[in-house]
Structure 1
Amino acid sequence: MLLIAVYMFIERLVTLKQALEEDKSFMNRIKDHIYDGKIEAAQKLCRETNNPISRMVEKGISRLGRPMNDVLVAIENVGNLEIANLEKGLVIMASISGGAPMLGFLGTVTGMVTTFYNMSLNSSGNVRLIDLSEGMYQAMVTTVGGLIVGILAYFAYNYLVSRVDSVVRRLEARTMEFLDMLNEPA
């Protein structure tokens, strides 16, 4: 489970980093193309930029000439798909953060059951320390392992959720910037 959590964390981190990368002049160039009537050039710039913001803006550009609400709905639909893509795999990370400690505790219980079973097999009634320590060792190792994986996955999950929120805020800001640009006189 630890390997899955590490893989998911790195993969999502790379995806979110790419989503946050932004050409500072992108919106200004889009604005210039639209004001100059170069709609195809604006769409080409969006395709070449290829990030969540550019895909949303491209959808908005494709709806130019329609009512502003249609433009907004089209952008929001693309935004929802982009957000779903960014959140992909976070459920697995959340499941690992909750499931790993439970599996560790399951190991604790099985270790203790094994210990008591071994003690019951001893017909003399004398319990050796080694009989107790083996089962308790198994119990503690699985608990520690489950907690370590769970805690790391928990913090990784929350960090990734905060990064997704950052991307969402940026997408919302650029959407408003694009819509404001369409409402400004040229």
Structure 2
Amino acid sequence: MTNLFLLLQDTIPAAATDSTATVATSTEESVNYFSLLMKGGVMVAPILLLLFFTLYVIIERALYYKKVAKEDTRLIDDVRTHLTSGKVDAAQMAAARSGTAYGNIIESGISLVGIGRPLGEIEGIMEKTTNVEIGQMEKKLGWLGLVAGIAPILGFIGTISGVIKIFYTISITENISIGSISGGLYEKMISSGLGLIVGVIAYSGYHYFNMIIDDFSLKVQKQVIQFVNIITTGK
């Protein structure tokens, strides 16, 4: 019993010491990651600004697409019901209530149906409205493409400037050591890694949103065809 008590006395302080050391090490590592990032050079600041701007554009565009590119499966059915009953104003109101790009395009066609315009003119105005909606969706995507190209370049510039400083210091001090070269080099390569990460985020967002726009274009063409069938055949 005495031996067990002595064993516990030795074990508990050791466990507490190990736990404290683990927490301290974890805290130190988290601080080191931040300080390591700050060692990336002057190019880290503009790259971080590009990161925040990229995230803003991605979030803003995602919320916009969620609102306007949402397909209302009941829209065409409601428009068909009203138009076949001769209620053009009700059909136009149903399209306007949807609050989506689909609704805006269908509404532009219904507005000409009400005044008896020919089919070619109706299709023309719907095509123009579609182009306007797609233009609104493509707005700000160019910034993502620009960031995808600029961020990695800024990172490489930071690394190159850091390497130049390292070798300039060596030429002045005439002190060549693996520690000074490798330590300075890995710090300067942080800017390259950060630039590539920001570039990948912007590049992914750019192409993902373009996929959404392509999907919208396909679906809206189907709805336009259905709408033309309604006003020509009543079905």
- The verdict on a shared fold, with TM-score over 0.5 as the criterion, is yes
Structure 1 residue ranges without an equivalent (≥5): none
Matches within 5 A, 1:82-97: 82-97=133-148
Partners of 1:11 and 1:78 in 2: CA distance: 22
Q: Figure out how many residues of one structure are paired with residues of the other and give that number.
A: 184
SS at match of 1:63: helix
Equivalent residue, structure 2, for 1:17: 66
Equivalent residue, structure 2, for 1:63: 112
Q: CA deviation at 1:134?
A: 4.8
Partners of 1:128 and 1:149 in 2: CA distance: 33
Q: CA deviation at 1:129?
A: 4.3
Equivalent residue, structure 1, for 2:170: 119
Equivalent residue, structure 1, for 2:98: 49
Partner of residue 103 from structure 1, selected from 154, 165, 173: 154
Give me the TM-score of the superposition, normalised by structure 1.
Answer: 0.91
Equivalent residue, structure 2, for 1:80: 131
Partners of 2:151 and 2:159 in 1: CA distance: 12
Q: Could you tell me which amino acid in structure 1 is paired with residue 87 of structure 2?
A: K
Equivalent residue, structure 1, for 2:222: 173
Structure 2 residue ranges without an equivalent (≥5): 1-49
SS at match of 1:21: coil
Runs of 4+ in 1 over 6 A off after TM superposition: none
Give me the TM-score of the superposition, normalised by structure 2.
Answer: 0.73
Q: CA deviation at 1:80?
A: 0.4
Partner of residue 204 from structure 2, selected from 144, 150, 155: 155
SS at match of 1:24: coil
Partners of 2:65 and 2:91 in 1: CA distance: 25
Partners of 1:98 and 1:177 in 2: CA distance: 41
Are the equivalent residues in 2 in contact too, given 1:27–1:178 (CA < 8 A)? yes
Equivalent residue, structure 1, for 2:80: 31
Query: Is residue 138 from structure 1 mapped to residue 199 from structure 2 by the alignment?
Result: no
Deviations for 1:16-47, whole angstroms, at most 9, x for unmatched residues? Answer: 22233233221111111112111111111122
Q: CA deviation at 1:185?
A: 4.0
Percent identity of paired positions between Structure 1 and Structure 2: 30
Q: Could you tell me which amino acid in structure 2 is paired with residue 170 of structure 1?
A: K
